[in-house]
Copies of this chain bind each other. A is one copy, B any other.
Amino acid sequence: MGEKEISQAVVARLPRYFRYLGELREQGVERISSGDLSVIMNVTASQIRQDFNHFGGFGQQGYGYNVDFLYHEIGRILGLDEEHQLVIIGAGNLGQALANYMNFEKRGFLVKGVFDVNPKLVGRQLRGLEIMHMDGLEHFIKMHKIDIAVLTVPKDSAIETAKLLVLCGVKAILNFAHVDLNVPEGVQVENVHLSDSLMKLSYNLHRYEEAFGKKTSGGGGKEG
């Protein structure tokens, strides 16, 4: 389709549209105007129209968007009309939490295998999957046509592990390790740096307190 180079800022907003449209759809809403959608999503209607125009617009003027159609179109654009085969690398707490995270599966991201180097973890069951040793990774990736790896290994081994994943043919990495990976062009990386999110929160908390004074806990107005 005629989708041209879209900025990552627009791409980052697509999952949110998809989520809201999914909810509207579940509520049985058939049509929605950009104005109503903008109120629900707390963005401007012009932002919505601009974003959608990157993909041909979707809607009909004065008539609103067909919720079901729009939901499926955005899903298709996000690649959710195909299933994805995932491996999780690192079976520590976070890896285990992610293996159990049902939202992934609901969207067609299927966790096919979990890998670790820790002999205490290898062989243990995790939601019906046996945790495997990294030695078997390359074979497994090829056998199961894995296209996405979720990386939850410690920072110190993340870069080496990412290199190995790329060598094995993985084309996309969801990186939770607190380090930037260096991957060849054509390999997609999406970072989830949890400490960074917390620091950003801390920044905003402090700036707000500096600007408006510290309101100690419990001072908040209880609404009636």
Contacts and interface: CB of A to CB of B under 8 A. Distances in A.
Copies in the complex: 2
A200 B11 contact: yes
A78 to B, nearest CB: 5
A211 to B, nearest CB: 9
Given A172-B204, A218-B145, A98 B194 contact: yes
A36 interface: no
Nearest to A182: B42
A61 interface: no
A15 B83 contact: no
Interface residues of A, number: 88
Most buried by B among A15, A174, A209, A223: A15
Contacts of A14: 199-200, 203
A169 B94 contact: no
A196 interface: yes
Contacts of A124: none
Contacts of A168: 217-218
